[in-house]
Structure 1
């Protein structure tokens, strides 16, 4: 897990909440990115989704053994107040809290890769 916390963070950053999900791999090897920046009214729900994920187990610096050809890799970045976290996950580990967070992000925002709306994969 990469987690950064600054006690001298700006007040605007202290209230900031955003999640970015990038999926790479698959048959075409395409990269797709989704981002959610929830409204303040939804911040509690999103903070809970973020906190439930096992960030320590998904350290982006850990070695990930390939589990087969054409598999997806997921990169998740979350900023919740002054705390920033990053995770890297093979497709097989995207379940439970990770699946909930990733699906929520994909459902909220347009695909930053040029497509719009959530996708079925």
Structure 2
């Protein structure tokens, strides 16, 4: 079977799923030899073999590590603290009470998941990246593909 795009050296496909409406968006770059070096560099910078960096704690995506146990706190105090979001525990504050008629989750959209596939002369890689992990080289690659299409 022959390659349907014989002039393309690099192909990158980014698919975004999720969000409030659950819509799926797709972007694709097919780069020829004249532009391949730029795209290969972006692909190589991504940590394809480091899935632990994408979601360090699947039970609590996006949260930081739990705080050290305080030997002076009672189990009831620790349980109450665990029920608060990590950002509040770290800051030592309570969540603001929503205004009348507002939901506590008002303005909070569902998270996106980014499926990223790349093919270069040396690599064929694929990774799903949750929204909160789309930082650094992942974000740079995704933004470059989105801008190019």
Give TM-score, length-normalised by structure 1: 0.69
Q: CA deviation at 1:38?
A: 1.6
Cα root mean square deviation, aligned:
2.8
Distance 2:147 2:50 in 1: 25
Q: CA deviation at 1:16?
A: 2.5
Partner of 2:50: 57
Question: Residue 101 of structure 1: SS of its match in structure 2?
Answer: helix
Identify the match of residue 71 of structure 1 among 98, 111, 118: 111
Identify the match of residue 90 of structure 1 among 107, 130, 149: 130
Larger-Rg structure: 2
CA deviations on 1:24-71 (whole Å, 9 max, x unpaired) are 000000011100012311111110000000001238xx9x83748610
Identify the match of residue 18 of structure 1 among 1, 11, 25: 11
Partner of 1:6: none
Partner of 2:37: 44
Distance 2:12 2:113 in 1: 16
Question: Residue 34 of structure 1: SS of its match in structure 2?
Answer: strand
Kindly indicate whether the alpha-carbon contact (under 8 Å) linking 2:113 and 2:130 is maintained by their aligned counterparts in 1.
yes
Identify the match of residue 148 of structure 2 among 104, 108, 120: 108
Q: Which has the higher strand share?
A: 1
Distance 1:22 1:81 in 2: 22
Structure 1 segments unaligned to the other structure (5+ residues)? 1-9, 110-121
Q: How many residues align?
A: 96
Distance 1:103 1:87 in 2: 16
